[in-house]
Structure 1
Amino acid sequence: MSSRTLPLLFINLGGEMLYILDQRLRAQNIPPDKAKKVMNDIITTMFNKKFLEELFKPQELYSKKALRTVFDRLAHASIMRLNQASMDKLYDLMTMAFKYQVLLCPRPKDILLVSFNHMDAIKDFVKDTPSILGQVDETYRQLIEMYTALSSGEFQLIRQTLLIFFQDMHIRVSIFLKDKVQNSNGRFVLPTSGPVPHGTLVPCLIRMFSCSGEEVMRRQFSNGGNYTAALREGSFEIFGDRVTKLGTNMYSVSRPVETHMTGTSKNSAQHTKVNVAPNPLAKEELNMLAKLMGGLEVQKPGNADNGFRVNLFSTDEEEEEALISRPDDLLYGVINIQATKDQQANAELAKIMGQFAESGEQSPSSSSKGDDLLAMMDGL
């Protein structure tokens, strides 16, 4: 697993989220000033300096639920609100779009070009706001500094880490189904035509060499596809032609987008529920997540006139139906504890906490991390 994957995952998923929200804001005829405020607020939060400092530190990927929590916070960083069903659909579209891009990258290093395509589009969203442009340019600089010097092997490890993260996600998306790049079971179709990766040749020739290194024989073979010569390499600078279209806005042409859970996805969710063994890394993951979320400011609308709701479905009825039909395994439960109202419950909780204190033998620094986590969560 690569410890340099998280920034690319976050930036690309964030870019897809902005594409979708921009399309929905236009489709629902949200006033331009409010729509611009939503986009600016989310991008400002997304590229917050403190947030990025934590994001770019070498670290393992978070779990799917932890990352989903980060994007829940990010999506509500402005006056816009999404209900559970729309947030589910938004996250499904984001993850499946980036999964498709990672799968179709001709070579692992092209994941960085996909990231730059997202960054270029984000920069265009805030082209009239110099202060936010500065934040975006600083992120370009960090991406170039961290990734352009990596070897092909390190990029392959990043790609493998991303594919492992996405491997159980098989949600059908109408755009992909209509374009015939996704099958009815939610799996993507890998093309057997088009340009080969930069730096490679069209497969059709086997060369044989002697012990001294001299070529002694050539043999042609059929590659089973319709491949063409490689395109020129895309630019890895702040400005330039990325060449690849992966990572560009597929919602620029207005068309409805639907998502459907496949049987495979539902089954994997059920299997996840059966496995109730405690995760020994859960506390550390929460602490790292808290550090990240410390930079995410969730804006609370001052009054009902300023805030508005965005629906990712065609109608409110479709949204309500999606919420009802969503598998229970994918819903995030909330447990309300009213410790101040029940003295018996208080005593029982105190007893349990005492047992944890005796058996855990945690160091002061460890318990202070938990306190810091609660404080950060309360402050969000």
Structure 2
Amino acid sequence: MRLPTGSQAMKRVAVLGGGIMGCCTALSLARRGASVTLFEQHPRIMGEASRWNEGKIHLGYLYSGSRALETAKKVLTGGLRFRPIVEQLLETSIAPWITPQADNYLVHKNSVVGPDAVWDYCARVTDLVLAHPDVGDYLRGISRGDLRRLAASDIDFDYNPELICQAIRVPEYSIDTNLFADALVRRVLAEPSITVLTGQVVQAVCTEDEKLNRYGVQTDQGPFTGFDVVINALWAGRPSIDKTLMGRTDVSMHHRYRVSAFVECPPDTPPHASAVICAGPFGDIKHYGNGRYYVSWYPAGLLAEGRDAQPPKTPQLSVEGADAVIAKIKGGLKDILPGAARILQQAERAEVQGGWVYAQATGSLEDPKSNLHSRDKLGVLRHGNYISVDTGKFSVAPYLAEAIAEALI
């Protein structure tokens, strides 16, 4: 992604937000000689949505509701480039964190996209993937034969054929986000050119001169001044900070607070392959290996949503509330994907966690016309040396971080 370059190298940089976008940007800039201050409102970096998500490294297959491939084109390069970029940042291989099997997409009878249309969409995405110059950099190798329709005999888990009308294997994989987050935190904290300030709620960004060359950041703990550039990498509430400097917010805004179950099963538990129920407000299961799973059911995990520049108050889950979410996930999955419900039943440990999800969209996933079925609005806006980033998806963040660092320094 090409960005407008500045007229001079940037020395002091403020990065707002300590999720994957902020941490990768901070590391990318520090490695190029910048002095970076990383602001995070929570007690630790990488402690919210960037840690507690399924870790899908998107190639675009999920967005069959976005029929013109605009979302696939937006997320594809970031997905293909994810592994080489993060392995360079972390200085280690991420191979042990990659899911052992490709995803199985199960088309629900109430899908907002019909089974034939889903297959056609997946075939067109595969053409896009195989034609991309970075196809060899993905988490695992990809060939045309990796996309295929599945008969019941091809799948090593049970699904309800009365509710699932088609099964497709796609060449998409995920990573264990907890292990990734731990490694990224270690690298950021070990980098001498990065100062991490936690417990800082960013309230505004202001200019210190008319040429937009110097900036200040106002937090609830006080002002911080003298920055050559500010990068707004916040996930929740990013538009409200944009407004303090740029006088604008995104045209449409949708904050959702979602949680899922992160599960550890006994080593002798029969494994369950990764599966995504599509397309709409359903659920999925992700198998990371060694008895570790992510299990979700969308209606059970959606705890709050808002359509303003600032998200609603973050929900707080009690122990009883977390137990109720797990019960609802089981209830949602048991008739469709009984093995996923059994994984929760057999778990030695099940933790309900999540965070805010942001999209420049309106509507609901039940509506086939809603633009929540796309992520084509992601990307970077620049106003002077103030940069605002809509990451769009977890998997796109390292690529955007690299592009920003290359443009600035």
Q: TM-score range by the shorter chain?
A: under 0.3
Greater fraction of residues in strand = 2
Q: Tell me which structure has the larger Cα radius of gyration.
A: 1
Greater fraction of residues in helix = 1
Using structure 1 for the length normalisation, give the TM-score. Answer: 0.24
Using structure 2 for the length normalisation, give the TM-score. Answer: 0.22
